Amino acid sequence: MQSNVEPELKHTSGLINPQERLKHLINYSNAVEVDFHIPPTRYYRSGLEMVRMANVYNSEGNYENAYVLYLKFMTLFLEKIRKHPDFNSVPVKMKAINQAKLREVLPKAEKLKERLLEQYKEEFNRYVAERERRKELPKNSADTLATETNFASASTLVDPSSHSFVNVETPRNIDDITYPDPDAAARRPRPVPSAPDFDRAKKPSEIFDSKYVPPGLRLVIVPGQVMVQFQTIAQKNTVNNVETCGILAGKLENNQLIITHMILPKQKGTSDSCTTMNEEEIFDLQDQHNLITIGWIHTHPTQTAFLSSVDLHTHCPYQLLMPEAVAIVCAPRYNETGFFILTPEYGLKFIANCRKSGFHPHPTKPPLFMVAEHVKIDHSADLQVFDLRAQ
């Protein structure tokens, strides 16, 4: 249906009318694709975490981001997931839980749609009124007003080609919400990263205390206790040249992902690999504590901190479903800790399309992984540890 807004309002100074602005937001939210190489059950698990994040955004008044996640959730599970070749393998119980979430989300999304449309109308009208008032002012007065006034509703200016949305009450982070759309992150222009390079004389806190966060990624807060406690727990395996791995989970707060829990699942380790077992135990624990998966951690008992070919494939699903997901590698022999992600503009897609398994060579240029610059170490943050290996 075409809008009835006057043409000059649609095309003047890049201004976009409220209905079109909402339409862009909906189109952006519907751009969800399913990677058939990720088991559908992982999407169902990630869907629950998506709703948890949307609920947080909603409670914090970040309505655009909440609406985007609710719509992505509905698009994913009302339409896209059914095309997965293994859709019929999803347990009935898991589908039932998902259906209950859909019934919960539908009215929330509709309410947010109405709220956002009213907000866009108010911002649009304020902008038009201010623009008309400036036209009526003498030139000197208009210049003074432009200098002295920080007019909030100018945020209704939208570049339709970029689909980048800015709102008076929310930060410029709608394009951050690519979860679980892997291609959106890969499409964003970024400087080509260099290969990971570590100064072993520096502690992780000195490397990652920068306030810089790459565009499109939310900040990930890592308690300093994560590395300390994990290496203590893994010491017996490390002495025996056996890798140890754990899951990093936490919460979304003020548009930051905060690691609050470290879970050590039942696992099988070798000198250069580690495989988790009994994943349902992990899922149940995360449900009990309302946790979001933010990444994983593992040791390299005898090697330096880097991502092996197996590590790259292990991390890929994490990052496809959560662009900020971080892989932490502890190398005790070299007193080295690495915080990594797959390069969003190349490595993520390359590994997602690689069908090889086990240890195998990959090209090194362009780099497939990079230092995770969106990580901040917080030595005062609390951490809960659940070791499921002995249970």
Q: Are 71 and 179 in contact (CB under 8 A)?
A: no
CA–CA separation, 54 vs 68, rounded Å? 8
Beta partners for residue 168, in sequence order: none
Question: Domains of the chain by range and CATH?
Answer: 7-177 (1.20.58.80), 183-387 (3.40.140.10)
Average pLDDT over residues 113-139: 87
Q: pLDDT tens digits, residue range 336-346? A: 999 999 999 89
163 or 46, which is more confident: 46
What's the predicted TM-score (pTM) here?
Answer: 0.74
Question: Tell me, what's the pLDDT at 209?
Answer: 41
Q: pLDDT tens digits, residue range 133-160? A: 888 877 655 555 444 443 333 333 333 2
Percentages helix, strand, coil for the chain (3-state, rounded to 5) are 45, 15, 35
Site of tokens 């806190």: 205
> What confidence tier does 77 reach under pLDDT thresholds 50, 70, 90?
very high
Residue 92: which residues within 8 A CB-CB, separation 6 or more?
none
Asked if residue 259 has pLDDT above 80, the reply is yes
Question: Tell me, what's the pLDDT at 138?
Answer: 72
Ranges 7-11, 219-223, 349-353, most confident? 219-223
Question: Tell me, what's the pLDDT at 358?
Answer: 84
> What confidence tier does 101 reach under pLDDT thresholds 50, 70, 90?
very high
CA–CA separation, 177 vs 171, rounded Å? 12
Question: Tell me, what's the pLDDT at 176?
Answer: 36
Q: pLDDT tens digits, residue range 173-183? A: 333 333 333 33
What does 176-233 look like in DSSP terms, one character per residue? G--TT-HHHHHHS--PPPPPP---TTS-HHHHS------TT---EEEETHHHHHHHHH
Q: Are 10 and 157 in contact (CB under 8 A)?
A: no
> What confidence tier does 167 reach under pLDDT thresholds 50, 70, 90?
very low
Question: Tell me, what's the pLDDT at 120?
Answer: 92
